[in-house]
Every structure is written in C-alpha cells, then in structure tokens.
Amino acid sequence: MELAKKNVGAYAADLVKPGMVFGLGSGTTVYWLVQELATRISQGLEITAVPTSEDTKRLAEQAGLKVIDLNEIERLELTIDGADEIDPRGQLIKGGGGALLQEKIVAAASKELIIIADSSKLVASLGKFPLPVEVIPFGYKQVEHQILDSGICNKINLRKKDGKTFVSDHHHYILDCECEKIVDAASLNISLHLIPGVVETGLFIDMANKALIGYEDGRIELINFK
C-alpha cells in the first residue's frame, strides 16, 4: 500500500494553493504530501502550514515549509490529514500516531477537512482499529475501569512506545480501546466525554468533507461526505 499512499499524498498537493495557510495532519500518507510540497517549494511555491503535532512540525520544517501556530490565525481554509478508519458516512477513527487532540482542534478550525489515505482504511463500520482515548495521567486507571464497566469496549491497552508509557505532546496518556464494532459513533463519543479524566477521543464525527483514497493499481478516488 506504500505506493498508493505516495500517489495520493502527491496528488493532494494540488489542493494547497499559493499563499495558502493550511492545517497539516499526521501519518504516513501525509509524509508523502510533505515530500511533494517540498519539491514545489523548491520551485517557488509559498505556503504556510499549521502542524497538528510536534512530529509533523519537525517534518514540515525539514522539508522547508513555513510553520506557524494555530493561535496566529483566526481560520484555516483547509486541513489535510490522514485517518486510521473511514466509514461510508465519513466518520473517522484517528489518533494511531497519538496526535488526536491537536488534530481535532485544527480540523475544527478549518473550513474544510480532507482526508488522504490508502484503500485499506475504508471500512463498513468503525471499530476494528482500536479507538484511542486521550486521558490525563492522574487517575487514568479509574477512567479505564469506568469505560470497561460501561460496556463500551471489551479490552483496553495503555499505549506504550519503546517499552515505556506513551506520552502525548500535551503530556497525556492514551487508552487504546478495542470496541470491535461501533454501532453509534456519535453517542459513543458523547458517552466517553462524560467520563471525568477523558480529554479527547479519536472519533471524528461530521468533520470530514472529502476523502482522497489511493489504490494499489494507481487509481485515486474522491469521496464526498458533505
């Protein structure tokens, strides 16, 4: 699927117009978007990115993109981001890279959110990919117990990286919740937010406008959600 990611990432660069300030998401497909933008910047394209994570910020700066903080702009015309799962209604699971909080803030500040991904991310219903839930470290075990007791999911794993507890850019933990099949994503999102200690969830409801999907045979499909 790497070629599909590369193709759709490069294709999405056409969405970034000269002089645009845009939200730049995270993930392996976004990496290829940045590489294509770097080529165009070397040819004179002037653009500014608002990154959704420290990793994305470093990647963008290394590629020669001008980077600013979200607080420096009132509204973004566009955000381009990846996803871990995309259902037919455009509901998403995001946060596999651990940047779900900033990704959601930047997406909410954008007139348009366009998702770029390979075809393996298309699903009939959300839930096969573990749902990330960002929580504060204090009392995270209690949050875990409440989620399990509610029957929202069957199993929860505290995210690890290199053998240590993963810590987000905002010094939070992430609980990866195995839900199997999410029937009502909007209700689940609300239920999780009612639990004290939950900062954000990886459920993106009614936020994506479009998706650009890359296939192994070289095809790129545009899906409109709204």
Q: Can you say whether the dihedral through the CA atoms of 35, 101, 177, 226 is positive or negative?
A: negative
**Residue 8 burial class via C-beta count within 10 angstroms: exposed 0-12, middle 13-18, buried 19 and up:** buried
Alpha-carbon span 178 to 132, nearest angstrom: 9
Question: Strands (DSSP E) along 112-172, which ranges?
Answer: 113-118, 131-135, 155-158, 160-161, 164-165
Check the CA dihedral 133-139-142-146 and report its sign. Answer: negative
Integer CA distances (angstroms), 56 to 6, 52, 90, 132, 180, in order = 17, 6, 23, 19, 30
Known catalytic residue at 103: yes
From 103, 134, 144, 200, the catalytic residue: 103
Please list, in sequence order, all residues whose beta carbon lies within 8 angstroms of the beta carbon of residue 21, skipping any fewer than 6 positions away.
Answer: 47, 48, 49, 50, 68, 73, 76, 77
Catalytic (active-site) positions: 103
